């Protein structure tokens, strides 16, 4: 049987070219899809740019605490090292970090109340604290360095602190509220460096 070229160009040679072009086109589409997938997967698994989603409480050295804080895009706060305490670090989410000052026989995860400094990634926390201070029972004050301080006078449990231009809200809790307030107003709550 002999093939003849049709007037519309649909002979065997034309069909072979179309099939080859379709194959090349399909290969390009698959290659592009794989490249997009690889880039998306690489961006989603870049462990060095974002801390793990959550960590269990653990006792850490000052050096380890500094290393962990340095891995964060936003500052993590504390009140410095304190004699007679063990530092407990926990990160329930990438936006929350807690440094607790354990005393006595306390171990990581102890349910008792200890001095705790929480650092929370938060958009414009200084404005938010000013607004909360204008609500009934809310109190605003200032801290050294231009910090905005807030606590609830009706139920004072924690003192909150934020600095304009820094997207971190800091919570200081102490078993005795006056201790937390004193630490904040004395300017002892600082970023870990």
Three-state SS for the chain is CCCCCCCCCCCHHHHHHHHHHHHHHHHHHHHHHHHHHHHHHHHHCCCCCCCCCCEEEEEECHHHHHHHHHCCCCCCEECCCCCCCEEEEEEEECCEEEEEEECCCCCCCCCCCCEEEEEEECCCHHHHHHHHHCCCCEEEEEECCCEEEEEECCCCCEEEEECCCCCEEEEEECCCHHHHHHHHHCCCCEECC
Q: Is the pLDDT of residue 9 over 90?
A: no
Question: 54 pLDDT band (50/70/90 cuts)?
Answer: confident
The residue ranking higher by pLDDT, 175 or 17, is 175
Q: Is the pLDDT of residue 14 over 70?
A: no
pLDDT tens for 93-122 read 999 999 999 999 999 999 999 999 999 999
CA 110 to chain CA mean position, Å: 24
Q: Is the pLDDT of residue 45 over 80?
A: no
Residue 41: how many CA atoms within 13 Å on its side-chain side? 6
Q: 141 and 129 in contact (C-beta within 8 Å)?
A: no
Q: Is the pLDDT of residue 130 over 50?
A: yes
Q: Is the pLDDT of residue 25 over 80?
A: no
* pLDDT of amino acid 31: 41
* pLDDT of amino acid 55: 87
* pLDDT of amino acid 17: 52
The residue ranking higher by pLDDT, 48 or 74, is 74
* pLDDT of amino acid 13: 55
Q: 100 and 115 in contact (C-beta within 8 Å)?
A: yes
> Whole-angstrom Cα distance, residue 115 to residue 108?
14
* pLDDT of amino acid 43: 37
pLDDT tens for 140-170 read 999 999 999 999 999 899 999 999 999 999 9
Q: What rounded mean pLDDT belongs to the chain?
A: 82
* pLDDT of amino acid 99: 98
């Amino acid at each position: 049987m002999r093939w003849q070229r049709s007037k519309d160009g649909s002979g065997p040679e034309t069909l072979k070219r179309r099939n080859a072009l379709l194959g090349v086109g399909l290969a390009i589409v698959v290659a592009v899809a794989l490249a997009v997938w690889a880039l998306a997967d690489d961006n989603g698994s870049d462990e060095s740019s974002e801390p793990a989603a959550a960590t269990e409480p653990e006792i850490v050295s000052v050096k380890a605490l500094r290393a962990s804080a340095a891995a964060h895009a936003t500052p993590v706060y504390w009140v410095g090292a304190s004699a007679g305490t063990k530092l407990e670090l926990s990160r329930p989410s990438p936006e929350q970090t807690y440094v607790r000052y354990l005393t006595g026989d306390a171990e990581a995860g102890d349910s008792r109340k200890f001095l705790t400094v929480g650092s929370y990634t938060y958009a414009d926390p200084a404005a938010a604290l000013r607004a909360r201070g204008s609500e009934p029972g809310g109190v605003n004050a200032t801290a050294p360095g231009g910090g905005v301080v807030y606590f609830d006078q009706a139920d004072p449990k924690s003192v909150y602190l934020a600095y304009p231009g820094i997207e971190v809200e800091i919570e200081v809790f102490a078993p005795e509220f006056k201790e937390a307030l004193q630490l904040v107003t004395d300017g002892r709550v600082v970023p870990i460096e």
